Structure 1
Amino acid sequence: MKKKVLVIGGGAAGLMAAASAAEHGAAITLLEKMPAVGRKILITGKGRCNVTNIADIKTIIENMPGNGPFLYSALAAFSNSDLMAWLEKRGVPLKTERGGRVFPVSDRAGDIVAAFSRALDDLGVSVVTGQAVREIRVSAGHACGAVTADGREWPAEAVVLATGGASYPGTGSSGDGYRIAAALGHEIAPLRPSLVPLEVAEDWVADLQGLALRNVTVTASVGGRNLAAEFGELLFTHFGLSGPVILSLSNPVAAAIRAGTGGGEVLIAIDLKPALSVETLDKRLQRDFTKFARKQFKNSLGDLLPARLTDVIVDLSHIDPDKPVHQITKEERGRLVTLLKQLTFAITGTRPLAEAIVTAGGIRTKEINPSTMESRLVAGLYFAGEVIDIDGYTGGFNLQAAFSTGYVAGRSAGADNVENNNR
């Protein structure tokens, strides 16, 4: 008789947990409250799905500021190489891009979801959508099933809770798992947004809404002390800043904001021309000004900047926009160079948790056995993915954590000889 395992949640961690448990011989039912599984996977990486990163385990841990060391056992059991082999075996060829980021060759996140759907079908997993879990049943200290919102009982010999975080609630990850786990006695670390856009004080940023800048260097600082710097793509929004570099910097920025403003104002500075030194950029401006000597200043930066950004830079330079280029002074040109190398914004906060890519906080790792993902409080209850208090930077690290913890949780839940020691 196969062991009956219930997996709650059809995101990355839940899909992998269901597949892993089935591969280890269990009979699996996966409950997903949305009409279809994998909704959040479909929007990751701008719909391309950055499934993992080719970095070694040590580097992956370093890119998980939220309790990274907890993942050593899970990554050893199911590494990025294991994940890539698993996907390619199931018909998803992969490619590696800048920073070691791994994507489907097709650039379609739907191919990842389709691969899991095929795998679960082949493994005989029963996927039931439109079923929101209300509570997990426990008998004599052992998880024995769940109850859905409609009052239906779902008996099981082991349960995997993989409901995701509290970001992008429209995909189904609305924080249900935290409430369910807390009801069983688990402590929930305070939830906060991770990998989240930033709001700025400067109202003129709205004029740049939708403008993307590539190959810029962005530095976060507080009280004159640099927190971190990133090189890559930035996106202006109506409220402030977004894009890959901003999401990566949002962790240290948010931490500085939470620490209070006693240390000084939190700033973001954009180097619009990081490949050019101050001296080289000044010479470049002199050449452009010579080329456009007969034009007004407001019409002289077209070779250097996008048109929409030009208008803003002209305004911020405090140089008369109608001034003939040949009349611009050395002091004014120096001021312009500084502006181009340090376009600075005062950060007033992060966007809400619902708009974050990842939720920081969650079920305390001290209450979970890292080798099995089993609860130390309730036997037969396992956790996987974002519901756990783990989070990482952009680059495929969060999805790898979800897949690795999902694999271990499923393997442990599906095995007949689950080790319950050291809970």
Structure 2
Amino acid sequence: MINKKIIVVGAGPAGMMAAITAAQHSNHVILIEKNATIGKKLSITGGGRCNITNNSSPEEIMKNIITNHKFLYKSLHSFTSKQVMELLETNGCPIKIEEKEKVFPLSEKSADVIKVFEKLLAEHRVKVYFECQLKDIFVEDDRIVGIETNHHNKLECDALILATGGVSYPITGSTGEGHNICEKLGHKIIPLKPSLISMTIEEKWLTEMTGIALRDIVIKTKINKKSLNFYGDLLFTHYGISGPAVFELSSYLNKVDLPKEGHEIFVDLLPQIAQDKLKELFLSADISNKQVSTLLIECFPKRFVADLLNEFNLSNTIKFNQLNKKDRNRLMETIKNFKITVLGLRNIQHAIVTSGGISVKEVNPSTMESKIIKDLYFAGELLDVDALTGGYNLQIAFSTGYIAGSNSVGEDE
């Protein structure tokens, strides 16, 4: 064991992994947490089901990282998703793999994942200080020497790992103090923006369909002249749109300034049917005497069909052979290119993750150590890294936590 005192700030996924890893090499690891329990944000991940990681190679995971994926190469290869799964299973939390290689605890309870970390923290004798909030960091000769908390004037340490998270879901304790303190110490903070978040829209009639979901659609749009497609489900809410496809779109849309008139997106409601095949279907004699609504209800929610026809000033009982050419073409075009005008992203406090953070140009990607202050390390959402949905952001947290923890005690894996 190395006689080196390590302090980790933040008992989220990144901080817990950092503390457990550091404690494998040092008997003096302290984990401070502002909440009364560990893993508070982890407890609400995936609606409590906890999409813990993704059963993919580091290379595949990197393809799903939106910001600074190359920076994470060493981290993701040092502690892989396979190792996360093994860690859980060998410590009493069996897992299962669902569509798109998403990994969940078999019980679908985030509490079971948290129990694993509680067990490991205890086994490695990590001292956990609850309801303990970081107030300041002490630096001498460009080297970390300690911290101030609401309970301690000074806690001395040989190395400090910051894993204080972003600013999304502040109720979980992520309120941005890590960014504020690091900025005072000279670190550049890339502006914080919401990512994986729902959106407000212009079309009021769509917001009246709260709770209605469109399954397996494709959102098409252009961002900075680049054509992008996003696959998944779309959910209508009282303020606009949400759902997996919308969340992924937000990871790109947050990089640009939206015009005042809004940003147009187009939804392919039936991506499995090509436009020419849809036209053949609409002109087919087999359905000519069939009500339009009857056919559409086979594909879409009844409420959506009724409101869509109403928006077109078409009767809910109109038949295909009663449609004029203009209405028929308009209906086909809408099914393949349903226009929605995005007015903006919701407030960052509602975001699943925070985009932006400590500039990775000032962090050593092989160790997670600050290039400005010796023995200061970073992990997780505090950094300017973010990914799509699917367990990728949690894997980033575990991987960066692992590499920060191992290097904080001088162990370079």
TM-score by length of 2: 0.92
Counterpart CA distance in 2 for 1:390 and 1:378 is: 20
Instruction: Give CA deviations for 1:300-342 in whole Å, capped at 9, x if unaligned.
Output: 7433321221122112323244656652334422321221222
The answer (yes or no) to whether the contact 2:406–2:412 under 8 Å persists in 1 is no
Q: 1:407 to 1:300 in 2, by over 3 A?
A: closer
* Partner residue, 2:13: 12
* Partner residue, 1:275: 272
* Partner residue, 2:389: 394
Counterpart CA distance in 2 for 1:28 and 1:398 is: 25
* Partner residue, 2:170: 169
Counterpart CA distance in 2 for 1:59 and 1:324 is: 48
Runs of 5+ consecutive residues of structure 1 not aligned to the other structure: none
* Equivalent residue for 1:305, pick from 294, 300, 312: 300
Counterpart CA distance in 1 for 2:140 and 2:181 is: 16
Counterpart CA distance in 2 for 1:248 and 1:418 is: 34
* Partner residue, 2:235: 235
Counterpart CA distance in 2 for 1:67 and 1:303 is: 43
* Partner residue, 2:342: 347
Displacement after TM superposition at 1:98 (Å): 2.0
* Equivalent residue for 1:361, pick from 343, 356, 359: 356
* Partner residue, 1:108: 109
Displacement after TM superposition at 1:210 (Å): 1.4
- Structure 1 counterpart of 2:372, one-letter code: L
The answer (yes or no) to whether the contact 2:202–2:342 under 8 Å persists in 1 is yes
Instruction: Give CA deviations for 1:21-68 in whole Å, capped at 9, x if unaligned.
Output: 111234211111012111111122222222222222222222222111
Displacement after TM superposition at 1:180 (Å): 1.5
Secondary structure of 2:168's match?
Answer: coil
Aligned residue pairs total 410
* Partner residue, 1:381: 376
Displacement after TM superposition at 1:96 (Å): 2.0
**Higher deviation after alignment, 115-124 or 181-190:** 181-190
- Structure 1 counterpart of 2:127, one-letter code: S
* Partner residue, 1:63: 64
* Partner residue, 1:333: 328
Displacement after TM superposition at 1:299 (Å): 6.7
* Partner residue, 1:252: 252
Secondary structure of 1:65's match?
Answer: strand
The answer (yes or no) to whether the contact 1:300–1:325 under 8 Å persists in 2 is no
* Partner residue, 1:193: 194
Counterpart CA distance in 1 for 2:318 and 2:398 is: 59
- Structure 1 counterpart of 2:378, one-letter code: F
Counterpart CA distance in 1 for 2:251 and 2:230 is: 12
Equivalences for residues 211-226 of structure 1 within 5 A: 211-221=212-222
Secondary structure of 2:341's match?
Answer: strand
- Structure 2 counterpart of 1:278, one-letter code: Q
Q: 1:324 to 1:68 in 2, by over 3 A?
A: closer
Displacement after TM superposition at 1:169 (Å): 0.6
The answer (yes or no) to whether the contact 2:5–2:26 under 8 Å persists in 1 is no
**Higher deviation after alignment, 135-144 or 125-134:** 135-144
Secondary structure of 1:405's match?
Answer: helix
Secondary structure of 2:100's match?
Answer: helix
Instruction: Give CA deviations for 1:133-192 in whole Å, capped at 9, x if unaligned.
Output: 101122333212211124543222211100000111111111111012112221111111
Q: 1:418 to 1:377 in 2, by over 3 A?
A: farther
- Structure 1 counterpart of 2:401, one-letter code: G
Q: 1:10 to 1:330 in 2, by over 3 A?
A: same
Secondary structure of 1:379's match?
Answer: coil
The answer (yes or no) to whether the contact 2:17–2:401 under 8 Å persists in 1 is yes
The answer (yes or no) to whether the contact 1:167–1:354 under 8 Å persists in 2 is yes
* Partner residue, 1:319: 314
Counterpart CA distance in 1 for 2:223 and 2:16 is: 41
* Partner residue, 2:185: 184
Counterpart CA distance in 2 for 1:322 and 1:371 is: 65
The answer (yes or no) to whether the contact 1:131–1:149 under 8 Å persists in 2 is yes
Runs of 5+ consecutive residues of structure 2 not aligned to the other structure: none
Counterpart CA distance in 2 for 1:227 and 1:350 is: 20
* Partner residue, 1:155: 156
The answer (yes or no) to whether the contact 2:9–2:164 under 8 Å persists in 1 is yes
TM-score by length of 1: 0.90
Secondary structure of 2:205's match?
Answer: helix
Counterpart CA distance in 1 for 2:358 and 2:295 is: 56
Q: Percent identity?
A: 37
CA RMSD after TM alignment? 2.4
The answer (yes or no) to whether the contact 2:196–2:353 under 8 Å persists in 1 is yes
* Partner residue, 1:290: 289
